[in-house]
Each structure stands twice: as C-alpha cells, then as structure tokens.
Structure 1
C-alpha cells in the first residue's frame, strides 16, 4: 500500500524522467554510441563486420579498447537514469519533495566516485540489469532472439538446457544479492566495493523475500496491463459491430500501442519503489537507524527554471491536455489512413524448401527438386559449387563424404568425374543411381514453373569464373526475375553485381556488427537466432527483404512469423503450409 502511495504521488515525475531518457536516447545517446562504434569498425578497416569477422572485435587491441569505451558510456547512461529514479524514490519515502533537476545534479555529483576501478566494478552489476532495461541505444551486435535460442537448446539437448537453467539461477541469485548496491552508492555515498559488500550483508537471509515481492508486483502489473488490453479489445469488437470500416480497429491499435509504451516505461520506476521500500525495511529489521542522510544541494538557476516550467504547465492544464488529445487523435488518423488504404493480404510469407525436399529425397538432387515442386512451395533453395573444369553443380559440403561416402572435393574433380558419383545410394534403395545435377539441369526443370530459385554459393575458393558461369546460366534461361543468389562471401556477390545488376543478391548472416546499408544487396538471409525487430525495420527502410534460415521447429516457426519477414527457408515446408492454412481458414471463417 505504501508503495502504491509513493507511485501515486510521483508518477508524473517518473513518467517525465523516462520520457526524457527516451528523448535523449534518440537524439544524443544513439548518435554518440553509433559514432563510437563506427569509428571502431573503421579502425578495423570496414563499415561492417559479417559472420566470423565479428570476432575481430574481441581479437584485436583496438576492438577490445573500443568496445570497452562503449561499455563504459552505456554504464554512465544507465548510472544516470537509475540514480535519478533512486534519489526521487528515496525522498518520497521520507515524504519529501524533490525536483528532477536536483535529483539529476545529485546523481552527477556521484560520478567522480566512479573514476578509476569503481566503474569496472559496476560492469557486472549492469550486465545483470540487461534483461530488465531497454538497451535500444546499444549496437545491434547484442540483438539475439532468446525464445528461438532456448527452443533450439530444448530440442537439441536437455543437458545444455539444464546447464542454461543453472546459469540463469546463479545469475538471478547474484542479482538478488547485489540488488541494494546502487542504493548504498547513491543514498549512503559508499564506494562501489563497500556498497556491494553491504548489499550482500543486507540480503543474506532476505533474497527469497525480495524475489517474492518483485514477482508479485511484476505479475500484478502484467495482469493489469493484459486485462486493460483485453477489455479494450472486447469493447472494440462490440462497438465494431455497429460501425462499418476499420475505424474502431485502428483506434484500438493506436490505444494499445500507447498503453504498451506507458506500461513499459513505468515498469522500472515501480520496481525501484519496491526495492527502496525493502531496502529500508531490512535495515530496520537489523535495527539500523533510519534517517534521511542524503543531502541535496539545489542549483538555483536550474531549480528556478524547473519550478517555472512546472508552474507554467500546472496553470495551463486544459491547454496541455488538449494538446495531448490533439496529438493522439492526429496519430490515430494517420494510422487509420495508412491501414485503411492497405490491401489486406493473406499471410504474405514465401516458403522455401531447403536443398529441395531433403526429407523425401537426396538433398540437392533432381528428385528432391521435383518433390519440392509437388509440395507447392514458393521457392526452392539449392547449394552450388563449381567443378575443376567450370561446370556449376549442386552440392553443399566441402567434400562428398556425407552424400556419397567418398572423400573428394567438387572443385578438385572434373564434371565427368562428378557425373559418375551416386548420391542416392546412402539415402535409400529407391534412389540408387541418383546423380549430382548441374545448375542448368535444375533451371530447365523449374523454368516453366511458378517458383523462385534461391542459389546459395558454397564455393570453397572464391573465383570470378564461378560468378561468370552462374550469370551465364541465369541469362541464357531468362530467369533473372525469379532468381535469388545468396552467399556468405560478399566479394562473390559484388562480382555478380558487376556482371548483371538485375539479379537479386543476398548476404547470408549469422552475426553482424555495424552499418549494413553500404552493402549492395537486395535481401538478407539471417539465422533465426539473430532475428529482431530492429534488423527487420532497418532492412525495410533500405528496401531489402529478410529471409530466415533454417526454421524447422513448430514453436520457432510461430516465433519467426511474428516478424514482418519476406520468406522462410525450411526442411519442412508442409509444417508452415499447414500452419498458414489453418490461419487462413480461421480468417475466412471470421470474414
């Protein structure tokens, strides 16, 4: 109840602080950190790092030093945000009012105590805070899809999932034991080392109580937000029966979007109120003297300026409220106009069969291509390499050991030798005699079909000849519009672009750092574990498609379909077709 009173008395300040922090993140923190990160990449000789090259950040002195600077900047930014919130909450505990500027200046005065070893002691503490704060201002290197990673670990190995769970429990335990470190630092002006020691002492027999209170509060906030959204959805559906068009639907979308933002930015202040209350409760339990020892030294000019601004808005509440309403209505009508003019398509995601139909036939064979065509997929993904005498054939691995049981490499064999290899024998008796097809044979198989061809270059040695021969096959059969060419090797893609500017080119990525806009590509093919809203949003701004590989687990498919992607590469196209078919059927029933 006391926590609720604290929140009710100061929610305007908390909302203002978080909105200001979001504003400064957009106009100051993001440009600053982006500048620093891009300078690091330039020192390393590139505008961006792709896949294995990303590890250069940790394998070079300049990379390590640069990332250390960015880490320290992020710590200072979070230090300021949490400091202001803790100081305002502490003053509220003692029923004292404090201006935001005064709390900010008090936080700034603590900064000198971080100079030296203290700031490095804060690193593990703020690392523990990463799951609970919005770090949209940090480089996209940290963008990972946690649900997909966990699901993959679950299906691949129970042991790895158990290890992961143990690590999470250890991290949670350490987090709970260090939870009062910043309170000792800001409120009692202790150094980080002493603050962590005092936090461990105060939480010695109380960490489970802390966990209980935080869980109860956060579950309550989640349920409150969820209930409000459901109520809004129910009312929107009820009223929508009496109003034609998408007016109510778009009003609900706008309303739910704003409510989600408000709930997310108030979540941290609510938790800090709870933690501050527990801080003083546990100190009282161990018979410490509870008094306000935090001294605030107001800055006269800033104090007067904030007071004047507050008075100005308080006297003009009707104008302020009207302005907010006009802004919200304006955003609503923009949103309504956008959605009302959209052509509502069924789920517009292309399904690509990985290496043909590798489940029912030898991968990258004509049989697998035909089987995939029979499944009605939107695209077929194949892997290509070039023989010693310049013929482009289908194969994924560096050698033929897995497919044919022979330790030979495609690039060291002539086409006549490759043509004798049987890749069906190990797959089953029905495919004995299945040969490695050429790219030209595959193109002739699908040229009359309404299907896209995704060609994944798996060349062991990058050569200009491969690019020339690949482009020749595509041009001779006039399939440039239906063909996508992708590769890990950006140099290969550049060679193809010089030869033919019409072919769609894609960069395959499982990890990246930096600005991708300088890449001359038409789409990204990304590993499912690195799929994020930021990646998709930036790709759309650059007019590029996003394809995801290789998505096979049903839960991962559902997770991936939450994003506005263009295509999915999978070994099980029928799973996605079935899921989309169920969705479409339900849409038709509702329509």
Structure 2
C-alpha cells in the first residue's frame, strides 16, 4: 500500500532527523569558517591582480577584463556551486536512506555527499551550476538555504525594466520561463544525486516525471510554503507570549520590561537561524516526498535488517545539537546581519528619491511637495545642464521618458525646456508640470527639507558645471542644507577643492574593499544589495554616514533600519516612516507595554 505524499514526508523527516539537523549545522559551520573566507580570498586575489583595492561601479570592468581575475572569479563560482550542491545531495541522500528505513550517521552522510557533489564540477554539467546558483534562487521557490538565500535583481534595475513596456514584457516572459524550468527540472537534483551522472539525463527524467503535473507541483509548493509559514509564525508568537509570562511571574530583576525585551530579541535572532535550518529541510523534504510518490517507489520496513542507533549515540547526537545550535545561531546572526536593534530606537531617516516620485512626477516641485509632506530628511534630485548652460532637474539624458520629447538635454535651450510637460506621463492630474531649475527647487524647499544633489555627467556639460552648482547653492545661502553627490569620484574631489565645507556623497551600485576612508567623501550611497553590517560599522567608525538606494519594499526597509543605516533613499518616503513606526510598535513592544 502506497503511503502517499504526506506519509512519505513524515517518514523522510522522522527516520534520520538527528542526522539531518547535525548535517545542516555542519554545513552552515563550514560556510562560516571555511567557504566564506575562501570566497573572500579568491575575490580579493582577483582584485589584486586587476590592480584595485576596492570594487565599485567605476572599476568593475577592470576585474572583468583581466584574464587572471576572470579565472579566479570562475574558481569562486565553482567553490560556491560545489558548496550549495553539497547541501542538496547530502540532504537527498539522507532522505533516500529514510525512505528505505535505513539509518545513516553524520560522517557517512558527509562522505557520500562530498562524493556525489563532485558531479557539479564536470564540465558537461555546466547547466547544473546555472540551475543551482541562478535559476532556483531567482524564482525563490524556498529551495535555497540561508547562506545563498533568494536572488533578486537590484531595485534600480527593476525600476528601469518596469519603466519600459517592452523590457517589462520580456522580463515577465523570462520569469515565467524560469518558473517553468524549475518545475520541469525540479527532480533532476534527486536524479543526479541518486541515479545519474549527467545533468542532461537527470533533467530528461525529471521532465518525464513532471509531465502533466507542473501545475499540481506548483500548487503543492505554494501550499507547503503557506502551511509552514503559518506554523512557524504561530510557534514564534506563542514562545514570545510564554517568554513574557515567564518574565512577569518569575521575577529576576526590577526592570521586567527591559528583561523581557532582551530575552525576546535573543529568541528572535535564534528563531531566524532555526528558520534558515528548518525551511530548507522541510521544503526539500516535501519535494522529495512528491518525487517518491510520482516515481511510485515504496519500501517496506524490514525489522531484521533495520539498524537502530544505540542509546549512547542518540544521547550524544542530542547533546551535540544542543551545544552547536546556540553557538551557530549567534555566529549566523552576526554573519547574516540579522541582529535586532535592541534599543527599539531608530535613527534612520527617509530620503525622497527624485522627490516623492511614487505619487508625483519625478524631479518636479509637486514631487518635492510630497517629500516634504512625508517629512523626508532629504530630497534626492539630479542636475544636468542645458545647451545654454541652465541647471535643470532631470535624471535621464533624454527627455522622452518623462516628457515625450525625443531630444537630449544638451541639445536644447532652457526656453524650449520650459514648454515641455513633465507631468502628463504619470497621470492627468499633473498635466502641465514643468521641469524646474536647480535655483527654483532650492527656493521651494529652503528651510523645509535638505537636498541631496547628484551631478550627472553626460559628457556634454560645460567644464565648470560643478562651480555653477556650488554658486547656486551659495547664492541661496543653503550650504548647510545641501549635499553634493556623484558616481564620479573626481566630481567630489573637485567639490572639496572648491569648498571643503560642503558635504559630499559617493554613489555606487557595488561596494567591496577599502573605499570608505576617502577624505573627500562624507556619505556613501550604496545600492542596498551590497550593504552589510560590517560595511556599516566600518563606515560609521570613520565618522561617515551611509545612505542606501533605491529601496521601495517594506521588507528591505525593515532590514536596513535594523542595520542602522543613516538614510533610506526611496520613491516612497511615507513607507519608510510607516515602517519605522511599525518597528517601534512591533509585537514584542506591544506585549511589553501590555504586561509591564
């Protein structure tokens, strides 16, 4: 009699659960003490061979054009791919032993997993590397561990794609194709881990198994994610409540509210680590249960062949788990930037990207009004120069996207620019909105909001554009209310040469290495994907600030606030303030206020 998917799932988890947990702890421990240092060493070696000490958007092509550096980067990807595939293969092998009613120890599992993982290094299995490191993380079907996590395009790239109808359609089509590939190839990992040596053979078998079942598998994946999330959050909130009651009725000090908050925060960090361990096991376990069900593979318990773990081994396993879990939880929290803000006090502010551009046309006075209403600390805006030397606020070098006029900034005089409609592209409510000059913008926001002014070089501006920007700022006497920003370091150096009292901001989409000690930079504006706790600490320790861009989703905002960045550059400054309010009044704080 077939057990069915649920029966298989219970058996897969129950039979070798201790070994599974030990392996996950081992796998994450290896990441912290071995894999991460190796990857950092390879990356820094590639940078050294390219003659650079930091990595940012202005020198990324140096490393990509150096043959030795390219070889080192390939080694980096192979190391990462092997490590990730090792987790898949060892876990699947453990599940396979469980479905056969066979026990397996941690050392044997590690040995078999390492042997099977070598298949990913075979040149003919290059597509497996792409599948593991790119396709599965991009689709975010909860089949990635905490070390890799989900992979997503940076927000500024997504914004650019979504602003173009053709690119947006192509992107959506690509994502649909990737989802279909993951569903069709989902069992190829099991096949290559257990039965095949070639990924081509493995995916062909997976295609055969999933034929006509793709929608059902997709619904199973969504359903299990919802169920596991509900159970996980239910357990989390229950333990928080029990912790509060324990603190209240078993007094150990005077300030019970502070004691409870400290305990709750420690548990929150701990629960993030537990979730990273359990989610991979649970999701891969359920997919494995579907795999055995669809392949119609059933094993029956043979009591004569069954090997039992001795009581000593069981006790030893439990003790090792109890020792390793807290240690790795703390190390994982530090490494993964999950440490919570214990003070419940947040210093992060909002910087309105091109004004409140989610509600009003970007880089217009209407968008600035929205930013002021949202109580943003800064308004980020872009300055370029027209043919006759006027400084206007526009991001693109061409007017077409925001005005419909297919002309470049340096081709037209300001008298013509004044006739353009910069609001109709958003909606009719802003029909007739004009492109403001820098002088108009400063006069409008003076005393109500600070300005983060990015000087955008297009190669056709006058040599004295920096001097002209500084002159406008000084004429309006708002030097202490403006920061001059650029993706070009030379611009910031020139600003400091002209007037060292001006604050400067270096904008980069990529940040790694020794770049935060530059004396001509006061603020580092970094794309949120590359922001880490250690990077923030390094910048703050130098007495400088860090702004992150462009963050429009609440989850990333919440993470950045916990990391204590100085400001979040966003199209929606209202959402930043809402997120800070919610964090100041989250479940832990509500319970503390209610009980203490």
- CA shift at 1:81, angstroms? 1.6
How many Å separate the matches in 1 of 2:235 and 2:282? 18
Match of 1:283 in 2: 295
Q: Distance in 1 between matches of 2:578 and 2:349?
A: 12
Pick from 174, 178, 192: which aligns with 2:181?
174
The answer as to 2:201 corresponding to 1:194 is yes
Change (3 A) 1:133 1:494: farther
Q: Give the root-mean-square deviation of aligned CA atoms.
A: 5.5
* CA deviation profile, 1:176-211 (whole Å, cap 9, x unmatched): 332332333332354333333333333335545544
Would you say the 8 A contact 2:209–2:294 is kept in 1? Answer: yes
Q: How many residues in Structure 1 have an aligned counterpart in Structure 2? A: 546
- Residues 1:423 and 2:418 are matched in the alignment: yes
| 2-structure distance, mates of 1:339, 1:241 | 22
Match of residue 13 from structure 1: 19
Relative to structure 1, the CA distance from residue 46 to residue 319 in structure 2 (aligned partners, 3 Å threshold; closer, same or farther) is: closer
CA distance in 1, matches of 2:289, 2:8: 8
Equivalents in 1 of 2:126, 2:101: separation in Å?
Answer: 34
1:355 and 1:382 in contact (8 A); partners too? yes
**Counterpart of 2:295 in 1: which secondary structure?**
helix
Shift of 1:173: 3.3
Who wins on radius of gyration, i.e. which is larger? 1
Structure 1 residues 281 and 512: CA distance shift in structure 2, 3 A: same
Query: What is the CA deviation profile of residues 141-180 of structure 1, one whole-angstrom value per residue up to 9, with x for unaligned ones?
Result: x66457x9889988986x8777655544443333233233
* 8 Å contact kept, 1:422–1:433: no
Query: Out of 219, 233, 239, which is 2:226 matched to?
Result: 219
Give TM-score scaled by structure 1 length.
0.70
2:354 corresponding residue in structure 1: 354
Instruction: Tell me the distance in 2 between the aligned counterparts of 1:120 and 1:531.
Output: 30
Q: Is the 8 A contact 1:89 1:272 kept in 2?
A: no
Alignment of 1:55-94 (within 5 A): 67-94=73-100
The answer to whether structure 1 residue 560 and structure 2 residue 557 are counterparts is: yes
Q: Distance in 2 between matches of 1:239 and 1:160?
A: 55
**1:383 alignment counterpart:** 382
8 Å CA contact 1:356–1:364 kept in 2: the answer is no
Q: How does 1:443-458 map to 2 (within 5 A)?
A: 449=447, 451-458=449-456
1:230 aligns with 2:267: no
Contact 1:398/1:409, CA 8 A, preserved across alignment: yes
Q: What is the Cα deviation at residue 227 of structure 1?
A: 1.0
Structure 1 residue 469: Cα displacement:
5.5
Structure 2 distance, partners of 1:261, 1:43, is 36
Other-structure match for 1:314: 315
- Alpha carbons of 1:233 and 1:463: their partners in 2 closer, same or farther (altered >3 Å)? farther
Q: What residue in structure 1 maps to residue 129 of structure 2?
A: 123
Q: Is the 8 Å Cα contact of residues 404 and 421 (structure 1) preserved in structure 2?
A: no
Contact 1:364 1:394 in 2 (8 A): no
Matched, 1:538 2:535: yes
| Counterpart residue number, 2:495 | 496
Cα distance in 2 for partners of 1:321, 1:99 equals 18
Indicate how the Cα distance of structure 1 residues 395 and 577 shifts in structure 2: closer, same or farther if over 3 A, else same: same
Distance 1:406 1:291, change over 3 A: closer
Structure 1: how far apart are the matches of 2:222 and 2:435? Answer: 60
Partner residue, 2:274: 262
1:221 shift after superposition: 1.9
C-alpha contact (below 8 Å) 1:353/1:569 kept by paired residues:
yes
Check 1:507–1:278 CA distance in 2 against 1; reply closer, same or farther (3 A cut): same
CA distance change for structure 1 residues 96 and 111 in 2, over 3 Å: closer, same or farther? same
1:506 partner SS: strand
Q: Indicate if the aligned counterparts of 1:356 and 1:382 stay in contact, CA closer than 8 A.
A: no
Q: 1:299 maps to what in 2?
A: none
Deviation track 1:507-561 (CA, whole Å, cap 9, x = no partner) reads 334x4364473573333445xxx5348457633542232143485xxxx468635
What CA distance in whole angstroms lies between the structure 2 residues aligned with 1:78 and 1:327? 18
For the residues of structure 2 that align with 1:59 and 1:330, how far apart are their CA atoms? 36
**Contact 1:88 / 1:103 at 8 angstroms: preserved in 2?**
yes
Does the residue aligned with 1:246 lie in a helix, a strand or coil? helix
- Asked if structure 2 preserves the Cα contact closer than 8 Å seen for 1:284 and 1:290, the reply is no
- Please tell me whether the aligned partners of residues 30 and 138 of structure 1 are also in contact (alpha carbons under 8 angstroms): no
Deviation at 1:66, TM superposition (A): 5.1
* CA apart distance, 1:98: 1.8
SS at match of 1:245: helix
Instruction: Give the conservation status (yes or no) of the 8 Å contact 2:191–2:202.
Output: yes
d(CA) in 1 for partners of 2:286, 2:357: 55
Unaligned runs of 5+ in 2: 1-6, 250-254, 303-308, 334-338, 424-429
